[in-house]
Structure 1
Amino acid sequence: MAGLIPKSFIHDLLDRADIVEVVDSRVPLKKAGKNHQACCPFHNEKTPSFTVSADKQFYHCFGCGEHGNAIDFLINYDGLSFPDAVEELAAMLGLEVPREASENPQKDAQKRQQAESDYEVMQQATRFFQHQLKHHARAGEVIDYLKGRGLNGETVKQFQIGYAPSEWDALKQTFARNPQTTQQLLDLKLLNRSDNGRVYDFFRDRVMFPIHDRRGRVIGFGGRILEGDGPKYLNSPETRVFHKGSELYGFYQVRQAHRQPDVIVIVEGYMDVVALAQHGINYAVASLGTATTTEQLQRLFRTTHQVVCCYDGDRAGRDAAWRALENALPLLKDGLDLRFLFLPEGEDPDSIVQAEGAKGFEARLQQAQPFTEYFFEHLQQGIDVKGDAGRSQLLQRAKPLIERIASDFYRDTLMERLAEKLRREKSQLQTHFQRPQQSRYQPEQIQMTPMRRAIALLVQFPQLGQQLPLNAELKRLGMPGIEVFLTLHQQTHEQAFTTAQLLETWRESAHYKHLQKLASWQHAMDEETAQQELNDIIVFLIDKYVEQRADELLEKEKSQELSKAERKEYQLLIQHLRQKKT
């Protein structure tokens, strides 16, 4: 999105947002004194070391060192860019994000208008397909088809299901009014161009399933054929608004239905998701015509602790399941649960739920295979583990996969089962395996000089800035950090800040990361003690400035005569220093 976001808006956004609610919407928190705690979502741990402060509107992990405000959390947890994190936080609060003009406002405006126009065109196409489902000459046949699949009008409306007409240019005739709109429709893959230059509708005679992003905007389509030749499903190719490796069909609807779902089921087809929702199983998503990617799995594991991959029992389904397992291995932390459910050949979730109902399908989910079982079931295919050659082959297959797992529990579990199958002791296998390189966080030992203490206290207790007078003359003090301290004091003296808001004003500064570390400095001071400490440091800085100024005048006197005003100033400075010593 083009155009800078006004700093004043970011300040107000952080003022309205509660970091406890933001974090708790993704990671369940527990009250711990004044703060809230959880096991850190950014590294694998068993004892909570992730702390969220409502007073400071700041989070910090003592295990891995991650820290920041609500925007930082969304950047790190949801994998968003800074502008997208601001957009996400604003959307959570029901706010629109304003934009400032930049150095090239015309180009920025064009980009912004292009993005807005793209999403609007995708929404118009959705409404077009919905309209055709009601009014096209074949509408009755298509509706009968959907009813035959067990769908009612409410479900069709919820998922915005429509119909792409069988004509070659129905959508083109409706929307391609000029060369510019035609090109936009081509870019968004709503139209296609043949080798001889003919332009025609990309989707024809198909039931249309709009794909939504996490904000509910339509970004692509999946089309299911009704009859005739062609692929069963046709998906939107990659476009500037649609990246299928990072999106999941039905994910938006799942999040609308559940704040924190206990489980999410991955299925293969759009109709599977819709049919399950029709029967009240509204926690299913589908990967978009590809194997479930690491990015998709990461999003799911950030939403729920249990993911069940439900695939057809045929070769293609089992291949897709294994690719999903391989992609999940680096993500499996302690507390996360990955399971696999293989349906009888020729069946899919749609047919099972139609035949057995929601209870029958959910009973099957309860019998889903833990990934630790499926892991060896797959690896042992074609291997005779009764002989040494087969055992050696199993070790060779399992070793690189087990080494990719971050979870101590799952890695140890797989090692134990592998040892059983190889008829070895677990300790005998340890020499064959490399443990994953987990970086141990060592808090940087910062020497807390008086200046750093003063800066840290202002960052952690911004309200103190309004209670202490400004000392503009200190800007001439030749001490590292004085400019940062005086700027912070000026900011906090003139305006009320939380720690999060204050740090946000320094995000583009070279001092930002250092200030974040000082915001996490541990001490046992309450606000009253911190105020006295800060006051004492300011007195110390004033004394240092007095010494510096006296030395400057004394040095000047060696080369030239001081003015009358300078001599008087020097006498006052010396008098001040003598009084300090008595």
Structure 2
Amino acid sequence: MAGLIPKDFIQDLIARADVVEVVDSRVRLKKAGRNYQACCPFHNEKSPSFTVAPDKQFYHCFGCGAHGNAIDFIMEYDGLDFPDAVEELASMMGVEVPREQGSGTGKPVDKQQQADDYALMESCARFFAQQLRSHPQKDRVISYLKGRGLSGETVKAFDIGYAPDDWDAVLKQFGGNKSVQQQLLSLKLITENDRGRRYDFFRDRIMFPIRDRRGRVVGFGGRVLDQGEPKYLNSPETRIFHKGRELYGFWQVKQAHKQIESVVLVEGYMDVVALAQHGVTNAVASLGTAATSDHLQLLFRHSPVVVCCFDGDRAGRDAAWRAMENALPLLKDGVDMRFLFLPDGEDPDSLVQREGQAGFEKQLKNARPLTDYFFDHLKTLHDIGTSAGRTGLAGQAESLIERVLSDNFKAELRTQLNTLLGRNAEVESLSLKKAVTGSTKRTAASTSKQMTPVLRAMGLLVQYPYLGKTVAVHDELVDLNMDGAKIFVALHKQCHEKDLSTAQLMESWRDTRYADSLRRLASWQHGVLEENVEKEFGETYLFLIDSYLEQRLQVLQSLSGEQLTREKLTEIEQLLKLLKGR
């Protein structure tokens, strides 16, 4: 495991970064009073509801609810995971990211080694592209690409190249010393046999560079021109290439679309390239594996609709089912996953070649919703005409539905399950009743116009962390019988001890169970005039103190006999005086 990024560094990075500059580097902002505005980059809108607050170092969209600090914005806009987003922000700030030695056996990331790896991979991609233009076999290769319907513009857009039919073309070009040879070996650009002989990993293949979400070449896919096995040969896993995280063509989709309305997930490189050739520029492919949770999380982060377009054969249907299983925990309001299975013998490449962009997009409109596909597939596994089949389907369906975190998706799936099995709504399972009841309670709580005193104090503190220094910390409030009291005290201590911005405060709670709730409070419309914020917080805090004193007094007054010691009687007397003095 690579070394972890120190939390202190992340906090310092957030303090040094200006979220306005970070957002403005990708989305043009306009001044609007104290804040800045733009049309939200994360959903379609005609009038701006996306606001960036320089004093809080926080952004929020009142339309779709997107919110966060500079790191969050880079994660969402660039499609990066957290460590890569930190690296990107640090690069913008001109600082190096330190790494801690973790508890695992892995070594800290060698930044220079990593930079050298990316540079060498890019050089190899340029070498393969140059071979396509200059190698003696170029006419044969170009004829093959033209035969697949690809233009020179498309070949250039995807940096498609050619690996010569030589044992050591890459080795000769780049392996001038032992150090670089070892690097080539580590990146799987060359390989070594049992006798220690080294030679090129890719030979006589069309080369498809695989770029990560930051546009860096991390691996290659190679396709044979004639007959041969394997038809496709992918780079093995390396220190910079992980198949479960990368999607072929994703970088190109991001370059083609400012806002990605939908993404088509296909199975092969040629599918992606052929679709782009015909104007379908929103296709990506997994790299010889089923779509993983990381793949789908990346896609849902950038697009509300993901259409899985697979061959109708057994392999395609198995890949679709695994993708659906991996998607279940990611389902939420505002996202949609659909499935399109092509006729036997067809793939996206052949279909778009024959029917063109309009024909292919017409097929996409027939893609089935996830909920329909979910039960269609289960019915192929269980005979619902029998009692045993219905029981088996119900059991498998329930176990899958339990993976879904979204209450709305859960309810929809269970409604369809009841309909399929002929259940009466009044005899639904207890788990369904609990889910609906819980959802109703949560919805009512989230839409309530009245904030509890603790939540109000927390919301003000999150938005104006300096308020934490205006009143003393009272640790005894952790025992206050109000939801969130312990979290409020923890927040108060942070703000009392350090000078923090809203962005820094939120960053310290990342990956905790309270992160989402606190982020919502950071965007809460409290309706308090700026000049009255300190007074409002002070009065709310005083109310919490009084509530604790009254709670403590009630506990003491409930005691009797030997429980009422002299110390407790004295405490009762003091509490009565305090409360009377309020």
The TM-score, its normalising length taken from structure 1, stands at 0.71
| Structure 1 stretches lacking a partner, 5+ long | 38-51, 466-470, 492-496, 538-582
Question: 2:13, 2:90 within 8 Å by CA — same for their partners in 1?
Answer: no
1:465-493 CA-to-partner distances (Å, cap 9, x unmatched) read 9xxxxx9xx9xx999999977876xx7xx
CA root-mean-square deviation = 4.6
CA distance in 1, matches of 2:466, 2:148: 60
Against the structure 1 CA distance between its residues 23 and 103, is the aligned structure 2 distance closer, same or farther, given a 3 Å change threshold?
Answer: farther
2:95 pairs with one of 90, 93, 98: 98
Question: 2:162, 2:206 within 8 Å by CA — same for their partners in 1?
Answer: yes
Structure-1 residue corresponding to 2:465? 459
Structure-2 residue corresponding to 1:229? 228
Q: What is the SS of the residue equivalent to 2:289? A: coil
Structure-1 residue corresponding to 2:550? none
Structure-1 residue corresponding to 2:371? 372
Structure-2 residue corresponding to 1:296? 295
1:25 pairs with one of 30, 41, 45: 41
Structure-2 residue corresponding to 1:383? 382
Letter paired with 1:396? G
Question: 1:130, 1:162 within 8 Å by CA — same for their partners in 2?
Answer: yes
Equivalences for residues 521-536 of structure 1 within 5 A: 523-530=526-533
CA distance in 2, matches of 1:194, 1:411: 53
Against the structure 1 CA distance between its residues 358 and 61, is the aligned structure 2 distance closer, same or farther, given a 3 Å change threshold?
Answer: closer
Q: Does residue 84 of the first structure (1) align with residue 84 of the second (2)?
A: yes
Percent sequence identity over matched residues? 49
Question: 1:162, 1:209 within 8 Å by CA — same for their partners in 2?
Answer: yes
Question: Which stretch of the first structure deviates more once superposed, 11-20 or 368-377?
Answer: 11-20
Q: What is the SS of the residue equivalent to 1:244? A: coil
CA distance in 2, matches of 1:78, 1:426: 45
Equivalences for residues 181-196 of structure 1 within 5 A: 181-196=180-195
Superposed displacement of residue 409, structure 1: 3.6
CA distance in 2, matches of 1:23, 1:186: 47
CA distance in 1, matches of 2:352, 2:227: 26
Question: 2:473, 2:496 within 8 Å by CA — same for their partners in 1?
Answer: no
Q: Does residue 351 of the first structure (1) align with residue 350 of the second (2)?
A: yes
Letter paired with 1:163? Y
Structure-2 residue corresponding to 1:131? 130
Superposed displacement of residue 337, structure 1: 1.4
Q: Does residue 146 of the first structure (1) align with residue 145 of the second (2)?
A: yes
Q: What is the SS of the residue equivalent to 2:244? A: helix
Structure-1 residue corresponding to 2:30? none
Q: Does residue 278 of the first structure (1) align with residue 283 of the second (2)?
A: no
Against the structure 1 CA distance between its residues 409 and 347, is the aligned structure 2 distance closer, same or farther, given a 3 Å change threshold?
Answer: same
Question: 1:262, 1:306 within 8 Å by CA — same for their partners in 2?
Answer: yes
The TM-score, its normalising length taken from structure 2, stands at 0.71
CA distance in 1, matches of 2:337, 2:364: 12
Equivalences for residues 76-475 of structure 1 within 5 A: 84-89=84-89, 95=92, 97-99=94-96, 111-431=110-430, 459=465
CA distance in 2, matches of 1:478, 1:404: 41
Structure-2 residue corresponding to 1:56? 56
Structure-1 residue corresponding to 2:545? none
CA distance in 1, matches of 2:254, 2:157: 13
Superposed displacement of residue 180, structure 1: 0.9
Structure-1 residue corresponding to 2:71? 71
Query: For the pair shown, which has the larger CA radius of gyration, 1 or 2?
Result: 1
Question: 1:171, 1:201 within 8 Å by CA — same for their partners in 2?
Answer: yes
Structure-2 residue corresponding to 1:580? none
Superposed displacement of residue 428, structure 1: 2.4
Superposed displacement of residue 109, structure 1: 11
Against the structure 1 CA distance between its residues 331 and 30, is the aligned structure 2 distance closer, same or farther, given a 3 Å change threshold?
Answer: farther
Against the structure 1 CA distance between its residues 505 and 240, is the aligned structure 2 distance closer, same or farther, given a 3 Å change threshold?
Answer: closer
Against the structure 1 CA distance between its residues 265 and 483, is the aligned structure 2 distance closer, same or farther, given a 3 Å change threshold?
Answer: closer
Q: What is the SS of the residue equivalent to 1:296? A: helix
CA distance in 2, matches of 1:85, 1:296: 17
Structure-2 residue corresponding to 1:42? none
Against the structure 1 CA distance between its residues 86 and 15, is the aligned structure 2 distance closer, same or farther, given a 3 Å change threshold?
Answer: farther
Against the structure 1 CA distance between its residues 397 and 31, is the aligned structure 2 distance closer, same or farther, given a 3 Å change threshold?
Answer: same
Q: What is the SS of the residue equivalent to 2:384? A: coil
CA distance in 1, matches of 2:376, 2:133: 49
CA distance in 2, matches of 1:72, 1:206: 40
Question: Which stretch of the first structure deviates more once superposed, 397-406 or 296-305?
Answer: 397-406
1:291-349 CA-to-partner distances (Å, cap 9, x unmatched) read 01111011111111111111111111111111111111111112221111111111111
Structure-2 residue corresponding to 1:558? none
Against the structure 1 CA distance between its residues 394 and 6, is the aligned structure 2 distance closer, same or farther, given a 3 Å change threshold?
Answer: closer
CA distance in 2, matches of 1:394, 1:532: 60
Against the structure 1 CA distance between its residues 18 and 103, is the aligned structure 2 distance closer, same or farther, given a 3 Å change threshold?
Answer: closer
Superposed displacement of residue 99, structure 1: 2.5
